[in-house]
């Protein structure tokens, strides 16, 4: 029997308004956010997903009580180093997620010009995020919330491998967002050799 799933939100990345950083070093495009307890304050979130274009060396603000994941999408990347020296990481491999504590204030030093990255932040103890780059047909296990971001090629997202009762097309630079459980899905690329998407599974840990 096919699994019933809710209809996802469709998000066109090109339609998202870029927000300049206060220090002028980059731009952020917010893809999606879940506010904590209905609080519309941008800093009070359960989870937040965004894209950033980093043009210059810059500090990354600390987010106490938040876990972060950053994934390089374009460019040579950057060195991330905490002010206290506890963290030093070369973010120079595309599509390789890096998880770290938002408690740390970081300095970002670009290797060779501007770069673009994908960011997921979750409130520690309440939510956690799993970020995976998908290159071929596969099943997408359920989660409390899910984002699929098309990076290259076209994809078909269906309710299963065989018995489909719903399907959605996903193009590059577009996203599908489920804000609740949606059952198992199956992702199939139209051109497997060229297609890439990012899968973000958000799971609730606490009330």
Q: Give the end of a domain, one of 123, 146, 170.
A: 123
Residue pair 105/158 in contact by the 8 Å Cβ criterion? no
DSSP β-bridge partners for residue 38: none
Instruction: Determine, yes or no, domain membership for 40.
Output: yes
Full DSSP string of the chain? -PPP-PPPEEEEGGGSPPEE-TTSSEEEEEEEEEEGGG---TTSEEEEEEEEEE-S-EEEPP-TTEEEEEEEEESS-EEEEETTSS-EEEE-STT--EEEETTS-EEEEESSS-EEEEEEEEETTTEEEEEEEE-S-EEE---SEEEEEEEES-EEEESSSS--S-EEEE-TTEEEEESS----EEEEESSTTT-EEEEEEEEE---
What is residue 5's predicted lDDT score, i.e. its pLDDT? Answer: 61
80/78 Cα distance (integer angstroms): 6
Total domains, the chain? 2
DSSP β-bridge partners for residue 98: 70
What is residue 204's predicted lDDT score, i.e. its pLDDT? Answer: 95
Instruction: Determine, yes or no, domain membership for 65.
Output: yes
What is residue 42's predicted lDDT score, i.e. its pLDDT? Answer: 57
What is residue 37's predicted lDDT score, i.e. its pLDDT? Answer: 75
What is residue 3's predicted lDDT score, i.e. its pLDDT? Answer: 45
One domain, residues 186 and 153 = yes
End-to-end CA distance of the chain: 31
60/98 Cα distance (integer angstroms): 15
117/131 Cα distance (integer angstroms): 13
Tens-of-pLDDT digits for all 207 residues of the chain? 344 567 899 999 999 999 998 788 889 999 999 998 766 565 679 999 999 999 999 888 889 999 999 999 999 999 999 988 889 999 999 999 999 999 988 999 999 999 999 999 999 999 999 999 999 999 999 999 999 999 999 999 998 655 557 899 999 999 999 999 988 899 999 987 889 999 999 999 865
* Structural domain range at position 72: 13-123
Question: What is the domain-level CATH number for residue 197?
Answer: 2.60.120.10
107/99 Cα distance (integer angstroms): 16
One domain, residues 97 and 152 = no
């Amino acid at each position: 029997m096919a699994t019933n799933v809710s209809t996802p939100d469709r998000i066109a990345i090109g339609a998202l308004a870029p927000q300049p950083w206060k220090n002028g070093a980059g731009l952020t495009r917010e893809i999606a956010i879940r506010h904590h307890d209905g609080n519309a304050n941008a800093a009070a979130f359960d989870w937040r997903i965004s894209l950033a274009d980093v043009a210059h060396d810059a500090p990354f603000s600390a987010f106490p009580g938040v876990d972060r994941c950053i994934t390089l999408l374009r460019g040579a990347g950057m060195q991330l180093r905490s002010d206290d020296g506890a963290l030093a990481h070369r973010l120079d491999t595309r599509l390789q997620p890096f998880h770290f504590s938002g408690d740390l204030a970081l300095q970002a030093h670009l290797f060779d010009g501007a770069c673009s990255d994908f960011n997921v932040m979750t409130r520690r103890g309440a939510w956690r995020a799993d970020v995976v780059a998908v290159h071929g047909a596969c099943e997408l296990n359920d989660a409390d919330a899910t984002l699929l971001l098309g990076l290259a090629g076209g994809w078909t997202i269906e309710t299963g491998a065989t018995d489909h009762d719903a399907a959605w097309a996903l193009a590059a630079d577009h996203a599908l967002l489920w804000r609740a459980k949606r059952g198992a899905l199956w992702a199939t690329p139209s051109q497997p050799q060229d297609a890439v998407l990012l899968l973000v599974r958000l799971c609730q840990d606490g009330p």
